[in-house]
Amino acid sequence: MTNSQETMQTSQFKDMRTGLIAFGVIQIIFGGFCALSIPLMIFGMLASTALGKSSAAPISVRMMVPSVLFYVVLAVWFIWMGIGSIKAKRWARALILVSSSLWLICGIGGLIFMLLFLPGMYDQMAKNPQMPPAAVSIMKFTMIGFMTVFYVVIPAVFVLFYKSKNVKATCEFRDPQVRWTDKCPLPVLAVSFIFGLWAASMLFTGCYKWTIPFFGFILSGLTGAAVVLIVMFISAYLAWGTYRLDIKAWWCSLFWIIAWALSTGITFSRVSIWDLYEKMNFPKEQMDMMRQYGMPQTSTMAVLVGLWSLGLLAYLLYIRRYFVSPPGQESSLQQNQTYV
């Protein structure tokens, strides 16, 4: 394509190539920070092991493994998405928009949770004679500021940028090949993304003795591992089925969320969340610290699970209109992509 042809085509929209490069570099930097956090966490685990019982509340090495793996995944994700953004790839825009939207929703929820339920933690800290009130206030407002910037402002900026019609047009112009993300409307791709994360996250329960709530009981060990395997299989099926716009997967998703909410509600109506922590083999010192600083109780967690379930059910009802054709047959909705 000659420069004159490219100029003529890009005149139909504002070329956001520079912005895509800038946002890509920012994400690569985020990935670099996540990567640098990994050796620091490993060093902390080794130091905790060396301290042994000389520390009042030693960090459990086994329970730090999920955190390390989480930062590994974040580092790979941000660097991968950053490179895709720099290259103006369609799949990168779609995945960044989906993940940033979920990041924003979870960030707003986390911020509200902190403002409503964690003041008691700072009140307990203020009662410590070794902790000056000014230091407690600084910690409190620093935490609020950090969460506001990194869990609300940054993902909101990402969503606004990658949602832009000019960014979409730029990616389609510079990456004319139809990608796998183009075969699924982004509102549905977000649900597929959630179920995929759900399936992958179940692997982390292995670091907690495969502990999982199940209709009034807290399972662990071999029984828990069997249930976890079933949950992973179902979640993976739902991720793939919703991506393919399979109406059966939509109905299964609806029943799956209801069953999960009922299971959690029934379980925590019979047992305490501290029973769950004990089954997960949380160190006694860590549990005592959580109790001391007023961590949310069982009823609070049940309310949060209920709200999350209602929100996801409402969203499933919202995307129901996309599931109108049998899987494998291209529909008019797939031909005319609808993006969030």
DSSP codes joined into one string, 283-294: -HHHHHHHHHTT
Here the tokens at position 26 are 């920012």
> Half-sphere exposure (CA, 13 Å, Cβ side) for 139?
13
Which of 53-57, 120-124, 318-322 comes out lowest in average pLDDT? 53-57
Residue 70 neighbours by CB under 8 Å, 6+ apart: none
User: 333 pLDDT exceeds 50?
Assistant: no
- Taking residues 205-215, report their average pLDDT: 90
Higher-scoring residue by pLDDT: 24, 333: 24
Residue 249 neighbours by CB under 8 Å, 6+ apart: 237, 238, 240, 241, 242
- Taking residues 202-213, report their average pLDDT: 90
CB 228 within 8 A of CB 202: yes
Residue that is written with structure tokens 């991968």 in the block: 80
Residue 43 neighbours by CB under 8 Å, 6+ apart: none
3-state SS, residue 60: coil
User: What DSSP designation does 52 have?
Assistant: G
pLDDT band at 119 (very low <50, low <70, confident <90, very high): low
Here the tokens at position 117 are 């339920």
pLDDT band at 304 (very low <50, low <70, confident <90, very high): confident
User: What DSSP designation does 221 have?
Assistant: H
Here the tokens at position 209 are 């003795």
Question: Which run of H or of E encompasses 330?
Answer: none
pLDDT given for residue 173 in this prediction: 94
**pTM metric for this prediction:** 0.82
pLDDT given for residue 330 in this prediction: 46
Which string of DSSP letters, residue by residue, matches 282-326?
--HHHHHHHHHTT---HHHHHHHHHHHHHHHHHHHHHGGGG--S-
Q: Where are the alpha helices (DSSP H) in 52-183?
A: 61-86, 90-117, 119-126, 133-148, 154-162, 165-174
- Taking residues 284-308, report their average pLDDT: 69
Cβ of 240: how many Cβ atoms within 10 Å? 16
User: 115 pLDDT exceeds 70?
Assistant: yes
Tell me whether strands 212-214 and 217-219 are parallel, antiparallel or unpaired: antiparallel
- Taking residues 193-221, report their average pLDDT: 91
Here the tokens at position 80 are 């991968």
State which amino acid sits at residue 182: D
pLDDT band at 339 (very low <50, low <70, confident <90, very high): very low
Which string of DSSP letters, residue by residue, matches 168-210?
HHHHHHH--S--GGGGS-HHHHHHHHHHHHHHHHGGGGGGGTT
Q: Which residues of 62-75 are buried (b: 16+ CB within 10 A; e: fewer)?
A: ebbbbbbebbeebb
Bridge partners, 219 (sequence order): 212
Give residue-wise pLDDT tens across range 225-260: 999 999 999 999 999 999 999 999 999 999 999 999
Q: What is the mean pLDDT of the chain?
A: 83
CB 34 within 8 A of CB 74: yes
Return the ∠ at Cα 164 (arms to 198 and 179), rounded to 5°: 55
Residue 135 neighbours by CB under 8 Å, 6+ apart: none
> Half-sphere exposure (CA, 13 Å, Cβ side) for 283?
16
